[in-house]
Amino acid sequence: MPDNLSDLIDELALANRILAHEGVLDAFGHVSVRHPSDPRRYLLSRSRSPILIEPDDILQYTLDSAPVQPPNAHLYAERVIHGCIYQARGDVMAVCHHHAPAVMPFAIAGKPILPVFHLGAAMGEHAPFWDQHDEFGDTNLLVVKQEEGHSLARALGPHSAVLMNRHGATVVGGGGGLQELVSRAIFMCQNAEYQLRALMLGAAAPLHRGEIKLAGAISLMPNVVTRTWEYWSMRLAASGATPPRRRAAKASRGAAAKPAPTASRKRNKAGNKR
């Protein structure tokens, strides 16, 4: 995970767009990352569709999900999901909340997603369920109150993902940061698709516990995470949706403001000196 704040902001914008391009996020859903030098803060975009997010959209929040600077934009209503998980889990470096079509049938039916192929082991042995209605009764299903966020974080517990009944899922990344999170979120959705298709054939046998441990470790190895990140980044680039880099954008604006002198200008300057 980048130690430099600007590089991490660039990576967060890219992670949003990759997850949107790969079908995990749509117009809704959001991704955050813990601040690289202050664990009491995290980074999250202003309220915007993930495929459109640019580095300039990224804001800093305290762990109670209050913006560090007064914002001039709308904020995600469900940002408490991120703050409460960062409070509860010091090992979590990145969080994604989504309503991926691959996961929604399981969230609606209350049926568990279990690892059924080797890359699916990145999600861990299983993802627990959280039903907002059990504790809070009738709501609009958005997680907007601190107590709701803390309840969700408790349901997540030590796991890598939690399914939210009739709503979606929340996935976390550890020391591998955003790149680990992106891999886990995408592989979990692929796993859900394969599991559902296998069930249509009559059975979906999950991996054995030892297989989950061994295959899960391989899927999160740095060289594997880097390989998949490059692959998804290139797919995004081929679609023309790569976000501008923060530094590059500033550099280009500076260059535009200070055009290089033309040859005639150089000759005029030389003549003035004489």
Name the DSSP class of 51: G
Among the residues of the chain, which ranges form H helices?
5-21, 80-88, 104-109, 132-136, 146-156, 177-200, 209-219, 222-238, 246-257, 263-273
Q: Taking each helix axis from N to C terminus, what angle separates 222-238 and 5-21, rounded to the nearest 10 degrees?
A: 70
- Residue 187: CA atoms inside 13 Å, Cβ hemisphere, count? 30
Among all residues, which ones are annotated catalytic? 78
Q: Cα(69)–Cα(248) distance, rounded to whole angstroms?
A: 24
Q: Cα(256)–Cα(239) distance, rounded to whole angstroms?
A: 27
Q: Cα(134)–Cα(161) distance, rounded to whole angstroms?
A: 19
Residue 137 one-letter amino acid: G
* β-pairing verdict for 94-98 and 58-62: unpaired
Report phi then psi at 260, rounded to 5.
-65, 145
| Residue 16 CB partners (closer than 8 Å, separation 6+) | 25, 30, 31, 45, 50, 51, 53, 243
